[in-house]
A and B are shown apart, each in its own frame.
Chain A
Amino acid sequence: MEWVNAVLQGTLLGGLYALFAAGLSLIFGVMRLVNIAHGDLIVLAAYLALSITAGFGLHPLLALLLVVPAMGLLGYALQRGLINFTMGGDILPPLLVTFGLSVIIQNGLLMGYTADPQKLQAGALETASLTLLGLTAGVLPLLTFALAVAVIGALQWMFYRTAMGRAFRATSDRQDVALLMGLNRAHVFGLAMALSLAVTAIAGVLLGIRTGFDPAGGGARLIFGFEAVIIGGLGNLWGTLAGGVILGIAQAIGGQIHPGLQILAGHLVFLAVLAVRPRGLFPKMEG
């Protein structure tokens, strides 16, 4: 029974990883960009929520109403003001610039908030749980998973049913033709990054309620998100959710075997997928 429980907890944890990954998957799909600062931006969103909850006495989930648009605006500004200037054929400039951003965000947070671990206080939500058929699940992990499904469903709908999604797909397929059709590439990229960081905001707040955070924690979040994207297959949003779930289950089972194996088991499953199916389990596009 404890193994079934581990799989259940891992699946729900996978929802959080899918939220880490969805923003990465989105910007890679639209502009082939890998944002090294993605994990640090998740942590930044958590700190933003911390300041808002402390300043206005809001519940962290209500703070989302402010954090999501704030991160979206930051994403648009960052893309138009900085990252767009690095978007060419060469992979080094975007990589280096986002690496620089990562170091700046980490040390900026260190200066503003010290290295002490922080946590978002969500009251009863943190401990509430549901029991069904002898299995117990926390309300917060369930809510996280539901939000992950909702976010990915919404992104999927946006991608295939809206004008903005059409612009994203057109730019993804052929940038030059999209330009000829009158799309403003810089603006489309800005919107994609805004959307990516809006999702990041949700991920950051849920992370902050669930486990707490500190300025140095961005790297691990980037890696979990990246692993979920690769396991699920490039360019496939539902695949990213599946990748997150697989990663979460691997970690939960590894942790069940030995606490020191939790994170390692996730990495090993990722490397195994890479060895057997380098394009991921459900790929939709070429790397």
Chain B
Amino acid sequence: MDVTRASRLTRLAGIAGLLLVVLLALAPWWAGRADLRLLGEVFLYMALATLWNLLAGYAGLVSVGQQAYVGLGGYLLFALTILAGLPVPLALPLVLAAGAVVAVPVALLIFRLRGAYFAIGSWVIAEVFRLVAAQVAALGGGSGASLPPAVVRTLAEGRDLREAMAYWLAFGLATAVLAAAVAILRSRHGLALTAIRDNELAAKSLGIDIWRTKLLVYVAVGALTALAGALIFLQKLRISPDAAFAVNDWTAFVIFIVVIGGIGTLEGPILGTLVFFALRETMADLGTIYLIALGAVAIAVMLKAPQGLWGLIRARTGAELFPLSRKVTGIPSGS
């Protein structure tokens, strides 16, 4: 008898995943410039969705204020490069660290609110960040700023290489976030998180320090969301308070992605991101109707299939692509 997390499907998915990673890493050689940009955007949304899923799907922290960290990361990148004169490759790790440093006091404050009030409290924090950013005259105040060509050149010389670098950073972040999520969920902390997801009271009675576990997740997610924000605005080359701290772009759509794909699973946000971009690329001409449809689909999924698309697939086939849950194999039959 044997207890294992791997199955034939997870091994197959692992091999296919590796091949896909190699193929996607080579994208600058086979994709056109527009496709490369789209792919980069897909990966940044995938990272945001996976991070929000860790927060809400596992740690039970339903935040609607993650735009605070997206905007913070974007603004820090602009401040560190334009005002402090740092090259982009040096600024990015600093953004990550600063995201974590900012997330700690924020958590101490808004962890005092529970449930849905935590959600809106996190939104207030994002509004505070937005209003502060609008007061920074050196970065254009309310109207925002552009990244000067001299700064962009510190990423790489030549336009093709620069576009490729921006893509690799986005792709690297998405794979790193996903790999980190798998690693965390397979560790002791992951066991604690899964227990909290399933039943907070029972988890507490088993001696899990819920507050500390949640704080760790919140800070790590905040730091990585800030890095994602820096990469988003590195791609856009322009930032303004309203774009950087937009609740619809960086939180509503991300929540819809996670819910449509399947909350509380690692596969869900990936699937949801693909659905989101498929809808967007086919319906973008319809403008606002597309956003109304997106909202309606999210509501319908929440009411009719709260486990999301991946939940439906898993319920029907038992499929699991990441080796997370444990299975008992090799039980002698007839005993």
Interface set of A (CB-CB < 8 Å, partner B) = 32-34, 36, 82, 85-86, 91-97, 99-104, 106-108, 110-111, 219-220, 222-223, 226-227, 230, 260, 263-264, 267-268, 270-271, 274-275, 278, 287
Contacts and interface: CB of A to CB of B under 8 A. Distances in A.
Contact of B120 (A223, A260, A287): A223
B294 A103 contact: yes
Interface residues of B, number: 42
Contact of A104 (B64, B115, B120, B292): B292
A96 B299 CA distance: 7
A107 B291 contact: yes
A268 B135 CA distance: 15
B291 A223 contact: no
B303 interface: yes
A26 to B, nearest CB: 15
Contact of A86 (B110, B247, B255, B303): B303
A85 B247 CA distance: 25
B171 interface: no
Given A34-B117, A103-B252, A107-B288, A271 B128 contact: yes
Most chain A CB within 10 A, of B114, B248, B294, is at B248
Q: Is the interface of B mostly helix, strand, loop or mixed?
A: helix
Contacts of A97: 299, 302-303
A92 B135 contact: no
Given A82-B299, A92-B263, A100-B256, A34 B128 contact: no
B36 interface: no
A267 B131 contact: yes
Interface string B264-303: 0000000000000000000000001101101110110011
B139 to A, nearest CB: 14
Interface in B277-335: 288-289, 291-292, 294-296, 298-299, 302-303, 306
B296 to A, nearest CB: 7
Contacts of B119: 34, 36, 91, 95
B123 A275 contact: no
A287 B113 contact: yes
A226 B263 contact: no
